[in-house]
Amino acid sequence: MIFIFFHRGGWELILLDCRNLINRVGKVVIVLVVSHLVHVVSVFLVLFLCWACILF
């Protein structure tokens, strides 16, 4: 009985820890992806502007 209760409590704590970890990692991943996309877009814009200047 105690073991089952402890086991359930332990699993709930582990699940809560996993949720917190996923939330933190998710926020970091979102920030990294957004910054990467901004970087890629800015590089493409610079290349496009250079290309447009060369053509026109």
pLDDT tens-digit profile of 7-44? 666 667 777 787 888 888 889 999 999 999 999 999 99
Instruction: Quote the pTM value.
Output: 0.51
Helix residue spans in 1-56 (DSSP H):
2-55
Q: Please tell me what DSSP assigns to residue 26.
A: H
Question: Given this model, what pLDDT does residue 8 score?
Answer: 62
pLDDT for 16 equals: 78
In the prediction, which pLDDT does 6 show? 57
**Structural domain containing residue 10:** 1-55
Number of domains in the chain: 1
What's the pLDDT score for residue 1?
43
